[in-house]
Structure 1
Amino acid sequence: MSEHKDFLRTIVEEDLKSGKYKEIITRFPPEPNGFPHIGHAKSIAINFGIARDYNGYCNLRMDDTNPTTEDTKYVEALKDAVEWLGFEWKDNVRYTSDYFDKLYEYAIELVKMGKAYVDSLDQETMKEYHGTVTQPGRRSEYAERSVEENLDLLERMKNGEFKDGEHVLRAKIDMSAPNMKMRDPILYRIRHAHHYRAGDKWAIYPLYDFGHCLSDYIEGVTHSICTLEFENNREVYDWVLDTLKLEPPRPYQHEFARLGINYTVMSKRKLLELVNGNYVSGWDDPRLPTIAGYRRRGYTPESILNFCDSIGIAKANSTVDVAQLEFAIRDDLNTKVPRVMTVLDPLKVTIKNYEGSEELEASYYPEDVPKEGSRKIPFSKTIYIEREDFSENPPKGYFRLTPEQPVRLKHAYIITCKEIVKDADGNITEIIAEYNPESKSGSDTSGIKVKSAIQWVDAASAKTVEVRLYDRLYKNEAPEGLEDLNPDSLKIIKNALIEPAVITERPDERFQFERQGYFYADPVDYTDENPVFNKIVGLKDSYAKKEKAPRGERKPQEKKVQIDGEVEPMSEAEQALFNRYTTELKLNNMVADILARDKQLSDFYLEAISLSTVNPNPVGLANIVTNEVARELKDKSKDELKFNPVQIGELSKMVEDGTISNKIAKQVFEEMVKSGENPAQVVEAKGLIQISDPAQISPIIDEIIEKNPDNVEKFKAGNTKLLGFFVGQVLKATGGKANPQVVNKLVAEKLQ
């Protein structure tokens, strides 16, 4: 079940507890008139997630009541999206068109009850009669038709005897209702169009307000969950079901806030305009917010679902920063994908004192990623580096290669620039360098200190690849139309160079190109002859830097959490807090900034310090408050939390004392969110005390070393990065309970 119980799950639990329903049945009912987007992903996660959490099931139903816009390709795209996100629907896919006969029977019943009539007003008059928010509407004179006349006209409408718009079937409710949706809403309209499933049987089609609630009832749906735009439609939903006096149980509609993301449009009309106008390459263009687009770009199902979970389920519409979605994919890929070297803008480097060639062993993963895997990187006299990694006249703080400053080639040697070769126009075409043979990575005895390592590829063995650099499709935070499109949303590099193992060994489909970002082998255009990689996301959000607000102004959706970009100046009170946090309590600037600007979070932190009897370390406490507690306070007040500041102080102290690890602390915190129990009680009840006794840890290390002789041999041969692999395996074997510091020390000793 989801970590946080949202208001929808609270409703479901109350309905189960009261006996209102014996089984929870939800549905995801998209209209097949376009490809599903990230907003649909949120709805999928909610509807299928709630059904899963309460041992029910969710139907996938196509709301196919408008034959002029629907297509089987959209049906397939919707099915594919649900499956890709990891969900399964009950039985076969359902369609509103499956129920056309039954819906028509319900319409006849309403007519016979005097609750529906055939109206023949033209569209303009009908609109005039509808009234306004401040003025009641006026009922059509056709509402006085007899039941017999209405039934006759409705039958003839169904049989195709009238033109489009000549008649409609309306509910007879209240033309003076404050909710204008209740002013005799239209139930059926004439459409002389071929239906992709029903063929030409029908000349009338039900509108959403009539077809949706009855389809829910027919399927036995208990909770009809939709977005806030349908809030006013709920009265119509209830009226139809109540008026027909249908046997219980019946469904009830509940609304949640739809997903809005800055720099993004999710209007199907606008997305269709982009596709049909060839502003993008299709519904799966990696710049589109469609699930197919994210999938082709390289997003994972886990990242999409984690994003949906992180933004929560709210009752009020708001706009989410796209940086939050980008964080979700970075966070997911960080512990999964291999790191490799590529050069997008090559600059030739000739190492004049190097002869021959060799293969360098390099791990695909950094030490903090508990995965194994390595490759051989060819190295020879001529290599290519990224052009921006050399500067003839470096600015202050530039740590890469310069005429005076040596640099390390990652996984290889330290080189020094000896000569710069330029063309007739003064452009740098080549660097002549020397390497230090004693500076090989893993066995450096040169004594040379360098400030950074840069990526490179071997000229003789590097593979040429096409790299597609995607940026945001729109240049404005709140785009309106085509005029807001970002002209630089796609840059294609045809001759990028990449280390050969990426192509010849294909260790994965997704990679982190060192210092460039995360990339994905394009599932459509990638071939062995022409490898193509899509940029999924950069290593950090630098977009705010491009779109800085004028001095003194703050962009409407600008967030203080963005990595780059400017925020408004602190108030005097905030600055005073910031100064106290950084000087007196020794917090780093970023944590101090977060606390100083958020009064609720700051009050919580200060209360945890002042009321605590265990005197937690202010730095460790601040980390818990600005991460775990901040997440809980995002949509709640402090009074709504089940835990209190004193308990968080105790939790921080347990980490500080080594009673539990940081990883275990997260588990304990999750339990505190649900139950409000003291951390010590949680740790004792679940047996989560950290293992620091070497006598308990040593046998586990011995077993892991015995199972991985190849990695032991590689470590002893100089691949010291494998230390992280062994540490990770031990932590995994102990469920995160082993003390990482003790494990590191013992593993290092045993591998000597």
Structure 2
Amino acid sequence: MKAQSTNTTTHSESSVQNNFIRQIIAEDLKTNKNEGQVVTRFPPEPNGYLHIGHAKSICLNFGIASEHKGGQCYLRFDDTNPSKEDIEYVESIKADVHWLGYDWENRLRHSSDYFERLHEYAIALIKMGKAYVCSLTTEQIKEHRGTLREPGKNSPYRERTIEENLELFARMKAGEFADGEQVLRAKIDMASPNINMRDPIIYRVKNVAHHKTGNKWCIYPMYDFTHCLSDAIEGITHSLCTLEFEDHRPLYDWTLNTLNTQSHPQQIEFARLSLKYMVMSKRKLYELVENNHVSGWDDPRMPTLVGMRRRGYTPEAIRDFCDCIGITKNDTQIEMGVLENCIRSDLDPKTARVMAVLNPLRVVIENYPEDQVEYFDAPYHPKEANMGSRQVPFSQVLYIEQDDFLEEPPKKFFRLAPGREVRLRYAYFLTCQSVVKDDKGEIVELRCTYDPETRGGSNPPDGRKVKGTIHWVSEAHAVTAEIRLYDRLFNQPNPGAGGTDFTKVLNPNSVEILTNSKVEPSLANAQASNRYQFERQGYFCVDNVDSSEKALVFNRIVTLRDSWAKIEKGNMNKKS
């Protein structure tokens, strides 16, 4: 399969093409730079699970490659720190990229594939007098580096001879030194205003086995040294990365220029994705998992792609979201509503409508025959006839939502109340006659009557009308399900801002678990990851981990727009 997006969402040509990176590439193609080739790469570190911020980079790199004839995109694992990497992360990253709709064909690479060549490049720098082995401790190196206002100081080992450096570097490779005892540094300029150019470390000792190369190496190259050379080896034309690497670009270019590599990719920086009410830092996500603030990397509240997939988000919606927010040089926080609207727009035309009662209230229809069952034809989608329909059973005892009944309804509440009539979706008009309560005064049941002349929800012969329509499920046919209502993980838009403890603003109501919800019988055989719109409730997905034939579990993907909620909010504001 050719590396390409399978995004079916329609965008204008300008909305996809009109960003500064695509403009740069268009100019390069006009001048036949890189011989008219466009080669990009997505280079994740296999030390954690990908999140939606990575999705932006995936869509950009694979998307740009697919837009040009002969364009190519590499998936390259930056596996230069074996103490934090694991094959589990490698496999999860590959699954995420595929899930988003992209394929790397035969262009799967690992930085470890180039360890021999990177080692040769390091020796070449030593022989050129452009690298030296430094015996300062980590703390001493930091002290010598200086500050943004003060230049750094030369290491006392900076003037070691080429022969001395070659011997020490060989001994580093042979495993004669402990971690941190020796490092190889590029010899650039300790007085540079760019701290990244003050003799950066390019190799360090790590006596740790590598998940791919085993115990072959005990020295590993640093990211800044590895990344630019891996780009050059692969013939990358445009190395797209986020803004924090802008200050690293001089080192990127210095390395390639000094070694005079055959290929010299162009590094271009763009703003990373930042979403309100989410954290994207791997460290923070790891802390959430390790300290059991969430159930795991695939917790549906997490911004990880595996978590969003479990919650029910679609790859089409995420790709559409990445297109909507665009590519800029400005760091901005995106509203969660943008992402939520993308998933609603994607699910609306292709998701079956069904009825589910999340918080059931029992209703007995006193004038309906006790032993009678009838069926109503209900379309799966009001606008998509090709989705078909199902038969919904109706009987004397039903469940409705607790929120659809109030004993003392406020103005503009058009649902069920004592003496009030509503329409049961697809079925009949229903009137509440009385309320049954327990010893504590809690409502346990409603006693109602129905109008047999309103079958199918049609208006009665006398022409009377009702303003409220509610959904329901027949008690005798209902399937019990667990419903997990997910909300935002944090209750502040920028958790951890200003160095505060981000775990202090976790939303205690980020998930509500309902264990006795009732869904219509058409869902009895719902399969993992199937998505539905629960009428008047929102979009839901069958949980792909905990759900089974014996125990249905649904995750709320996103809510519907709720006009009543707006009214309630308005009432509360008036009261306050």
Q: Secondary structure of the equivalent of 1:64? A: coil
1:103 aligns with 2:130: no
**Structure 2 stretches of 5 or more lacking a match?**
1-12, 497-501
Aligned to 2:5: none
Q: Distance in 2 between matches of 1:371 and 1:474?
A: 40
Deviation at 1:4, TM superposition (A): 3.5
1:360 aligns with 2:376: yes
Q: Distance in 1 between matches of 2:47 and 2:562?
A: 33
1:214 aligns with 2:229: yes
Residue in structure 1 matching 2:101, options 86, 93, 96: 86
1:230 aligns with 2:245: yes
Counterparts in 2 of 1:422-571, with a 5 A limit?
A: 422-441=437-456, 443-446=458-461, 447-480=463-496, 481-504=502-525, 509-540=530-561
Counterparts in 2 of 1:63-142, with a 5 A limit?
A: 63-142=78-157
Q: Distance in 1 between matches of 2:68 and 2:457?
A: 53
Q: Distance in 1 between matches of 2:53 and 2:163?
A: 45
Whether contact under 8 Å (1:408, 1:414) holds in the other structure is: yes
Q: Distance in 2 between matches of 1:13 and 1:467?
A: 49
Q: Which runs of 4+ in 1 moved over 6 A?
A: 505-508, 563-566
Query: How many residues are paired up?
Result: 547
Deviation at 1:279, TM superposition (A): 1.9
Q: Distance in 1 between matches of 2:348 and 2:265?
A: 43
Deviation at 1:372, TM superposition (A): 3.2
Counterparts in 2 of 1:9-408, with a 5 A limit?
A: 9-21=22-34, 22-55=36-69, 56-247=71-262, 249-355=263-369, 356-367=372-383, 369=384, 371-408=386-423
Identity of matched residues, % = 55
Deviation at 1:92, TM superposition (A): 4.7
Deviation at 1:448, TM superposition (A): 2.4
1:6 aligns with 2:19: yes
- Matched AA of 1:19: N
Deviation at 1:488, TM superposition (A): 1.4
Q: Secondary structure of the equivalent of 2:454? A: coil
Q: Against the structure 1 CA distance between its residues 564 and 126, is the aligned structure 2 distance closer, same or farther, given a 3 Å change threshold?
A: farther
Q: Against the structure 1 CA distance between its residues 34 and 326, is the aligned structure 2 distance closer, same or farther, given a 3 Å change threshold?
A: same
Q: Secondary structure of the equivalent of 1:46? A: helix
Q: Secondary structure of the equivalent of 1:253? A: strand
Q: Against the structure 1 CA distance between its residues 101 and 192, is the aligned structure 2 distance closer, same or farther, given a 3 Å change threshold?
A: same
Aligned to 1:683: none
CA displacement, residues 595-635 of structure 1 (integer Å, 9 cap, x when unaligned)? xxxxxxxxxxxxxxxxxxxxxxxxxxxxxxxxxxxxxxxxx
TM-score of the pair, normalised by structure 1: 0.71
CA displacement, residues 379-432 of structure 1 (integer Å, 9 cap, x when unaligned)? 011111001101110011100011132100001100111111111111111111
Whether contact under 8 Å (2:363, 2:399) holds in the other structure is: yes
Q: Distance in 2 between matches of 1:92 and 1:200?
A: 26
Q: Distance in 1 between matches of 2:493 and 2:572?
A: 14
Deviation at 1:457, TM superposition (A): 0.4
Deviation at 1:106, TM superposition (A): 0.3
Whether contact under 8 Å (1:261, 1:321) holds in the other structure is: yes
Q: Distance in 2 between matches of 1:366 and 1:178?
A: 64
- Matched AA of 2:294: V
Q: Distance in 2 between matches of 1:259 and 1:72?
A: 26
TM-score of the pair, normalised by structure 2: 0.92
Q: Against the structure 1 CA distance between its residues 65 and 507, is the aligned structure 2 distance closer, same or farther, given a 3 Å change threshold?
A: closer
Q: Distance in 1 between matches of 2:562 and 2:431?
A: 32
Deviation at 1:504, TM superposition (A): 4.1
Deviation at 1:366, TM superposition (A): 1.9
- Matched AA of 1:36: L
Q: Secondary structure of the equivalent of 2:549? A: coil
Counterparts in 2 of 1:543-622, with a 5 A limit?
A: none
1:410 aligns with 2:425: yes
Whether contact under 8 Å (1:363, 1:374) holds in the other structure is: yes
CA displacement, residues 81-105 of structure 1 (integer Å, 9 cap, x when unaligned)? 1100000114052100000000000
Higher strand share: 2
Q: Secondary structure of the equivalent of 1:144? A: coil
Q: Against the structure 1 CA distance between its residues 328 and 448, is the aligned structure 2 distance closer, same or farther, given a 3 Å change threshold?
A: same
Deviation at 1:19, TM superposition (A): 1.3
Whether contact under 8 Å (2:429, 2:451) holds in the other structure is: yes
CA displacement, residues 254-303 of structure 1 (integer Å, 9 cap, x when unaligned)? 00000001110111111111112222121111010000000000000000
Whether contact under 8 Å (2:428, 2:457) holds in the other structure is: no
Q: Distance in 2 between matches of 1:123 and 1:41?
A: 35
Whether contact under 8 Å (1:541, 1:564) holds in the other structure is: no
CA displacement, residues 45-102 of structure 1 (integer Å, 9 cap, x when unaligned)? 0000000001301000000000100000000011001100000114052100000000
Whether contact under 8 Å (1:116, 1:170) holds in the other structure is: yes
- Matched AA of 1:451: K
Higher helix share: 1
Which is bigger in relative contact order (C-alpha 8 A, separation at least 6)? 2
Q: Against the structure 1 CA distance between its residues 505 and 194, is the aligned structure 2 distance closer, same or farther, given a 3 Å change threshold?
A: closer
RMSD of aligned Cα (Å): 1.9
The range that moved more, 392-401 or 479-488, is 479-488
- Matched AA of 1:285: D
Q: Distance in 2 between matches of 1:437 and 1:391?
A: 24
Q: Against the structure 1 CA distance between its residues 165 and 478, is the aligned structure 2 distance closer, same or farther, given a 3 Å change threshold?
A: same
Q: Distance in 2 between matches of 1:430 and 1:7?
A: 62
Q: Secondary structure of the equivalent of 1:233? A: helix
CA displacement, residues 654-710 of structure 1 (integer Å, 9 cap, x when unaligned)? xxxxxxxxxxxxxxxxxxxxxxxxxxxxxxxxxxxxxxxxxxxxxxxxxxxxxxxxx
Q: Distance in 1 between matches of 2:528 and 2:139?
A: 64
Deviation at 1:167, TM superposition (A): 1.1
